[in-house]
């Protein structure tokens, strides 16, 4: 056997082993199309190897040279540095009134003074909101995917989150002990991780992070919000990808409700722990926010806001739920980050927009908005109206996002390439469509959920 033939054998064996491994991982993740394709590529690599071993040594040498040159060219292409002229979005210049958000509008009881006052001030929302009110509603019998047994799980999780809404704040201990900001920062991050947070970031709280008026949760509806805490701690928790892949059916709302409860629990514990150290702290959790969690999380370095309008984290994409704690406990802030790779990926990938059943996600480039930001903006009325028709929080966009794949060595290798090479990002979009489909179908729920 010539040296070239040995190299050829090694490369083809590595290909076959890699594709076999990927097929097994894909099968375990429920991605049958990816598993079939990877299995076929593994078999093809072995067939080429067998054929190459049967031809004369001179042909083997030519084959090895062709394969080597092809691989080298591919590596050079993928690693080629690209100059990215992608500007970050400026921060919003205006504060958002929480009353204008879909969730606050959904809480308005027809006939109530708040209802009348809101639609007198925002007549442009009235017909749009009447449309979602004409649908069965979230977790409501009659909705397309409603299932009484499965719906009991998110009902239970939301019950816990709702109970925690009354525990977001409390008395502050008066036995002050001085700790260095560095020591406290390390402690808070460890504590958050201990309770289940996958990421924790800290930033200075800015005016544009804070809603201007209360729209739901504790406090008086419509009251101006004055929150003068100096720091904000953003945490994220992971959503299970198997449950999310069943989107838009019931398992997805089971999982989002579970993770809203988990993130709320962590934030409430952190805030109470800080108050026990004699500093004021308030948790901001589902249904009782005073801050806009994705904006805080972005400022704290957890990710960027992507095409679907959600925080895209480098490790799990949008497959996270967020909560925030604001406090005066002296902390070290995380340096602001700007990751153009996520915005570059979203600019060229429109997978979430392609699968969105309500066509709520834009397919064009980021646009400038009156609040000074440069971003994608989804149509919240279309999205929410779809939720109320099907009875779940849909999540199709999150489920198909190439960033949302499972956290394992195969996907993390792709994530490394995506973060570091513009050409790799283009290739990754193409590969994701090839292995998973341009519009991946929802997965079948596990047997216990059927
Ligand atoms: S699916 Fe594609 S475009 Fe949509 S958020 Fe994910 S990466 Fe961005
Ligand atoms: S949750 Fe569903 S309806 Fe809403 S934007 Fe995502 S895919 Fe579209």
Count CB neighbours of 259 within 10 A. 25
Q: Residue whose CA is closest, atom 6 of ligand 1?
A: 401
Query: Which bound ligand lies closest to the C-alpha atom of 365?
Result: 1
Between the CA of 364 and the centroid of ligand 1 the distance, in Å, is: 12
Between the CA of 74 and the centroid of ligand 1 the distance, in Å, is: 25
Residue among 356, 359, 382, 442 whose CB has most ligand 2 atoms within 8 A, to mutate: 356
> For ligand 1, is residue 347 a contact (CB within 6 Å)?
no
Between the CA of 349 and the centroid of ligand 1 the distance, in Å, is: 6
Task: Look up residue 288 and give its two tokens.
Answer: 């009782």
Between the CA of 376 and the centroid of ligand 1 the distance, in Å, is: 11
> For ligand 1, is residue 342 a contact (CB within 6 Å)?
no
What residues are in contact with ligand 2 under a 6 Å CB criterion? 308, 356-358, 360-361, 378, 383, 386, 394-397
The reported pLDDT for the residue numbered 79 is 85
pTM of the model: 0.95
Range 326-340 burial, b when 16+ CB lie within 10 A, else e:
bbebebebbeeeebe
The reported pLDDT for the residue numbered 450 is 87
Between the CA of 362 and the centroid of ligand 1 the distance, in Å, is: 11
Between the CA of 450 and the centroid of ligand 1 the distance, in Å, is: 29
The reported pLDDT for the residue numbered 63 is 86
CA-CA distance, 427 to 234, in Å (whole number)?
32
CA-CA distance, 358 to 267, in Å (whole number)?
33
Compute mean pLDDT per 10 residues along the chain, 450 residues long, and list them: 82 95 96 98 95 88 89 90 85 96 97 97 98 98 98 98 96 86 97 98 98 96 97 98 98 98 98 96 98 97 97 97 98 90 97 98 97 97 98 98 96 95 96 98 94
> For ligand 1, is residue 337 a contact (CB within 6 Å)?
no
CA-CA distance, 173 to 365, in Å (whole number)?
50
- Are the beta carbons of 428 and 434 closer than 8 angstroms? no
Contacts of 206 (CB under 8 A, 6+ apart): 91, 299
């Amino acid at each position: 056997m010539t040296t070239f033939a040995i190299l050829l054998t090694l490369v083809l064996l590595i290909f076959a082993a890699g594709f076999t491994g990927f097929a097994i991982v894909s099968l375990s993740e429920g991605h049958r199309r990816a598993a079939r394709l990877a299995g076929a590529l593994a078999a093809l690599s072995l067939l080429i190897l067998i054929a190459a071993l049967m031809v004369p040594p001179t042909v083997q040498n030519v084959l090895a040279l062709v394969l080597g040159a092809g691989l080298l060219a591919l590596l050079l292409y993928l690693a080629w540095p690209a100059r990215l002229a992608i500007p970050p979005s400026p921060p919003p210049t205006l504060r958002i009134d929480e009353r204008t958000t879909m969730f606050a509008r959904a809480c308005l009881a027809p006939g109530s003074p708040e209802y009348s006052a809101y639609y007198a001030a925002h007549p442009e929302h009235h017909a749009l909101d009447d449309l979602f009110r004409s649908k069965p509603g979230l977790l409501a019998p009659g909705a397309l995917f409603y299932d009484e047994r499965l719906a009991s799980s998110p009902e239970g999780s939301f019950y816990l989150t709702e109970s925690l809404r009354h525990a977001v704040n409390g008395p502050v201990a008066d036995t002050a002990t001085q700790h260095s900001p560095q020591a406290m920062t390390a402690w808070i991050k460890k504590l958050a991780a201990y309770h289940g947070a996958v990421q924790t970031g800290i930033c200075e709280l800015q005016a544009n992070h804070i809603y201007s008026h209360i729209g739901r949760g504790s406090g008086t509806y419509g009251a101006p919000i004055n929150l003068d805490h100096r720091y904000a701690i953003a945490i994220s928790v992971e959503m299970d990808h198997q449950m999310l892949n069943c989107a838009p059916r019931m398992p997805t709302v089971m999982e989002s409700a579970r993770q809203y409860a988990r993130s709320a629990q962590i934030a409430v514990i952190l805030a109470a722990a800080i108050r026990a150290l004699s500093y004021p702290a308030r948790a901001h959790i589902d249904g009782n926010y005073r801050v806009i969690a994705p904006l805080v999380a972005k400022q704290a370095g957890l990710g960027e806001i992507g095409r679907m309008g959600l925080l895209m984290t480098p490790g799990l994409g949008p497959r996270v739920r967020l909560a925030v704690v604001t406090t005066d406990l002296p902390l070290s802030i995380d340096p602001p980050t700007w990751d153009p790779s996520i915005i570059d990926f979203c600019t060229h990938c429109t997978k979430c927009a392609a699968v969105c059943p309500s066509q709520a996600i834009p397919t064009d480039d980021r646009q400038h908005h009156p609040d000074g930001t440069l971003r994608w903006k989804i149509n919240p009325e279309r999205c929410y109206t779809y939720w109320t028709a099907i009875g779940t929080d849909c999540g199709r966009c999150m489920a198909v996002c190439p960033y949302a794949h499972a956290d394992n060595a195969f996907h993390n290798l792709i994530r490394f390439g995506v973060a570091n090479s513009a050409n790799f990002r283009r290739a990754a979009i193409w590969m994701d469509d090839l292995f998973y489909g341009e519009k991946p179908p929802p997965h079948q729920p596990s047997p216990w959920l059927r």
